[in-house]
Structure 1
Amino acid sequence: MLEKVLQNSKTMIANLHNAMKFLSYIDIRFLFSEGIIPHPIIEVIDFIYQYVLGKSQDTSSLDLNQSPYDISEMKLENLTKFHTDASKIVGDFFQNSKYILIFLINDLPKINIAELPNDLNFARIEILNTFFNEIVEVWYKNLGFEEFLNPKTAEFIPPIDPDTNQNDGIEALNIIRRESGWKEMNHISIVYFGKQFSVDRIINDEVSNINFQIKKKHVSQLLRCRFTEIMKNYRSLFSAMLYICDKDAHNYYNNCVIKLFGSLVKSKTMLEDLYEALVTLKKSSIWSVNYTSESNLQIVFEWVAGFLSLLENNDFSLKNINDNKMIKQLLIIFKKKFNVFSTLLLNEIKIFDTLCHKDDKFKNVQYYVNYFRNPENESINLNPENSMQIMLNACNFFDNFCENVSKSCYKDLGFEKLPHCKIKN
């Protein structure tokens, strides 16, 4: 009977879930001032919704080797765990919420479950079904959510910005959100008006005219966090390599710098992939240039384009580096660009925590230097014979880093599957 009740509650829970989803698509920045923002309770209701949905779709056959009693015991244990977990989630929400009136919190333990007749299971289920239907009627239909979610009149149809290629943007987001590369970002969440949004929360929903505006902001902000992390590591690795050339491989300085330039040239593929991803997002109207917006990717675009310009206007390839004068000139050019980039990156890192939450901390230059000196926790004597091996360790690590970025942030995000964006100016 308990399972039957849960299955019968599916429509009610689904409608309340849809209502909360709709509210979560509203950009609350236009409704509230920061600091007093009641976010929709989507996490709370989503836990219950997923369980009820699973129960409604459960078609697994019974184990004939188990007795009916054992099966019932197993099902009751499952239901009890759900009830315990759901009660904790709901209780924590009430206790931690700043927006629920205090008298509601105090009265919560006093609420009694309506008495149900003990004689007939059928009567109990009918009473509960009536309760579910009334909730749907009063708190879903009568509040207009049906009209909002499936608008039939012009006044309820979300407007489309005439300067936005919204259909292309919706198509692009729905293609890339199904790709595997997002798993590489699970350690990052965005901070959007005081609330953290995980990767799953951002990409799980199908994108439509109703939620495109908020989804494109969330996706762009997430990619800003991820691409900033990549460029921060890019800088730290180059700084570590320069340090090794100055300190560890000083007696082989020119050879060390040549190795650094070799890795710089190899990183061009990664930079081109990031550039292509950013251009594709721009052509799809998923981000636009607005320096005050948390979802603005312009600063990352300028970093990537700057390094590509450096590589296109200067020949750092090994075949043309034959004399000390050439090496010195190229190193001056590289360091000048690198220092400008470092300053701009530092300004972005200062506001990183206001836009992004990262589970792990950034690794600093000294961490990488120590790792390259001792990559397998084996002793490396810092003598001339071993100094270039340290640089080779650094170059191999850096090259693998760039390859992994190209794979996870371009190929595995499906940007190659968006040809309709590539033909636009």
Structure 2
Amino acid sequence: MMLRACRWLALGCALLAPATWAQQQPVDMPPLTPPAEALPPAAQEPDLYLEALQAISDGRKSDAGAILTRMVQRGARNAGELLDLAMLQCALGRADEAEALFVTIETTFKPPKGLQAIIDDQRRQGCIRWKRQQQWGVNVARGYDHNVNQGASNPNYSVDGGELTLPAEYRPKADHYATVTLDYVTDLSENGDLAYVQLYGRRNDHEFDHNTISAFGGIDHPWRWGRWKWRASGLAGALTLGGKIYQTQTQAQLRLTPPLPLPPSMELSLVSGLTHLKYRTLTNFDSNTTELRSILSHRGDDHFAQLSAGAMRDHAVASRPGGDRNGWSFGVSTRQALGHGLEAELDWNALQWNGQRSYSPGLIDAVRRQNSRTLRASLSYAVTPNSAIQLEWRAIRNKENISIFQYDNRIVQLSWRWRDGK
């Protein structure tokens, strides 16, 4: 019984503290079970207690409540199990039920001083009821874009009977720009459901036809099936270009994290998704894209690294130039804390698309092959606990077998971001 008391003293504050929205990601709990000989017979059965703790840690309060109901139905056999039930009731915000169990422990089992101290301390703290967690942020940036319009590196293309030359408006144009990003995230339920909204605007100093505004919103629902972690999400939004709606997008994703025998700092997930793009100012360019991607991540005390690789199929809704496309993607990203509020990031991404048929028979007979590489590096400094400044550099190299689609770009940006929540 005293082992249970020590366990609650060590875990009570962490388990009963309100979680922020960013802590809703499912994480594996460290081993909490004392030696089997120290546990009562009921606790050596399927461990509903640990299942309930895991559900609370994941932010799945409703699931924890269902598990707790099963524990109550099974019945507690001693003061230690009653204390477990009481503390779980308190963690779920059920103050009256927790107090009734505390009274039963005091009147029936006459608990020793250590156990009574836990009860008294919990009464002083009170039971924490679920409260909606929210976070909002602002990001303001100023930058320089060497190729605002993704102008062709080589504007000339040889065709039967001559050479095709692109007009000047399709050649690279450089400009300074400013951006503002607003985002908001909030809990929807006790079970870890989230909703988020992001608004983004970019204004160029001179190339106004390439000014953009976007608005996106989505929901996210996590759950568990045994030790398997699942997460479903949906997203919808729109993008304007030069003051007109250019594109709308809807997306559905499902993420699975199986219980593999990996180190605690590592996690492997599989992501499947379906994205529908509709172009408002172009005809025959709408598409449905399916994707299957694997993500391997490693998280340390002061660093984070991630590898991702995926295969994609882009199905043209109508008679799109080049028809359907198959592709693959690969990405590497790292983030490292440098101390004194400094943090560095480095990302590299590769994307390959292969068309199905000639891009434009009679004019461009080649089957389009797109090969894009992006390298990004940034250094940020935390000015306050809620704000930071960031210097970012990005290089894009889009190599294609059709020269008029090739382009290179470099972007340098200085931004300030602020986050707050409750």
**Larger relative CO (CA 8 A, sep 6+): 1 or 2?**
1
State the TM-score bracket (shorter-chain normalisation). under 0.3
Taking structure 1 as the reference length, the TM-score comes to 0.23
Which has the larger helix fraction?
1
